[in-house]
Structure 1
Amino acid sequence: MKPLLLLPLLLTASAIFAQTKPAAETEAVQQTIRRFFEGMRRGDSAAVRATLAPGAVFHTLTTKNGQTQLRPENPSDFVKAVGTPHPEVWDERITFEKVLIDANLASVWTPYQFYRGSTFSHCGYNSFQLVKLAEGWRIAHIIDTRRKEKCK
């Protein structure tokens, strides 16, 4: 009789664990992205670099003369620019719209508005791909759109 009572308890405990683990992983993924942007706001290139996976890739989508263009951006150049003194704070304000996780891969969708100091610069969406390495979640790929109007 006791094993029959134990089975529902074990099933309930495993269901609770299954529900809390994804929430904890989602928070860890979001925290990596928050650290990336906090480092950018502070001009702290080391903090930004620490959020990136080895071999990380950056892209941006722009429109020129009605044509969509995919532009690669060098993550090392970006990290260097973050750490180079500039007169205004680079402030990218994001919200987490969608976080998907499977094992050691996460995909994150974030609308954003970018400000230089208090001056609006542009907006769009970021798509992040993160991988979970021994050090934790790291950004492997960022691709974004950029525009000055129709911001969310």
Structure 2
Amino acid sequence: MKKFTLFFLALLTFWQASAQTKTAPNIAVDKKAIEAAVKTLFDSMLASDTVKARSVMAPNLRIIVIGKSPEGAVTTRETTGKQFLATLASQPAQTMDERYWDSQVQINGDLASFWCEYAFFNAGKFSHCGVDVFQLYRSSQGWKIVNLAYNMRRENCDMQAIPPK
């Protein structure tokens, strides 16, 4: 009985260690897939490609823009994924250029967040910078963006940190 108990404990320990080593690579794979979904959205903006954008968007995508009124009060504006796609379709390619850096990914099961600093260029001219916060969920087709909140500012932008096109 003592040998069986030792064998069982050894087997249980091995199984737990094996399960832990399988989890770590999955997190790395998920992080890459999450960043790829965000990058696909930015690439679709630059190409004005609504099909590519839709491929990483949840059908009920919400976009919240945090800004300031002329008086300095904080404002919020909500847009739907459908409205975003209509705007994207109306823009010529190479107009909407969003570049990001300093990204962070958090994952808990089928929910993830992607936080990054960004700079937005409109038709080649710097427009504004800020922070994007994406919320994604794992669907049967991969990670999909379900919410995006971002702020916009024209001052205190770290122009040295902006990646080249």
Determine if the TM-score, normalized by the shorter chain, exceeds 0.5. yes
1:59 matches 2:64: yes
Pick which of 80-89 and 23-32 moved more: 80-89
Partner of residue 114, structure 2 = 108
What CA deviation, in whole Å up to 9, does each residue of 1:74-100 have, x standing for no partner?
321211221224375211001252211
Q: How many angstroms apart in 1 are the aligned matches of 2:139 and 2:37? A: 12
Cα distance in 2, alignment partners of residues 85 and 68 from structure 1: 28
Structure 2 vs 1, CA of residues 39 and 88 (structure 1 numbering), >3 Å: closer, same or farther? Answer: closer
Indicate which of 23, 38, 44 corresponds to 2:43.
38
Aligned position for 2:161: none
1:93 and 1:74 mapped to 2: Cα distance? 22
Q: Does 1:135 align with 2:141?
A: yes
Q: CA RMSD in A?
A: 2.1
**1: CA distance, partners of 2:117 / 2:89:** 24
1:69 deviates by: 0.3
**In 2, distance between residues paired with 1:71 and 1:92?**
19
Residue type of the alignment partner of 1:56: L
Please say which of residues 81-90 and 123-132 is displaced more in the overlay: 81-90
Rounded to whole Å, the distance in 2 between the matches of 1:22 and 1:146 is 31
Aligned pair in 2 of structure 1 residues 87, 101: CA closer, same or farther (>3 Å)? closer
1:49-128 map, 5 Å: 49-64=54-69, 65-86=71-92, 88-128=94-134
Q: Is the 8 A contact 1:40 1:82 kept in 2?
A: yes
- Structure exhibiting the larger radius of gyration computed from Cα positions: 2
What's 2:33 paired with? Answer: 28
Q: 2 CA distance for matches of 1:107 and 1:41?
A: 23
Q: Could you tell me which residue of structure 2 aligns to residue 17 of structure 1?
A: 22
| Partner-residue secondary structure (3-state), 1:97 | strand
Cα deviation, residue 16, structure 1: 2.2
Structure 2 residues not aligned, in runs of 5+: 159-165
In the TM superposition, what whole-angstrom CA distance separates every residue of 1:8-54 from its partner, at most 9, and x where no partner exists?
A: 65554333212111111111111111111111111101111111112
- Partner letter of residue 38 of structure 2? I
The percentage of aligned residue pairs carrying the same residue is: 26
Distance 2:63 2:120 in 1: 17
Output the amino acid matched with 1:44: D
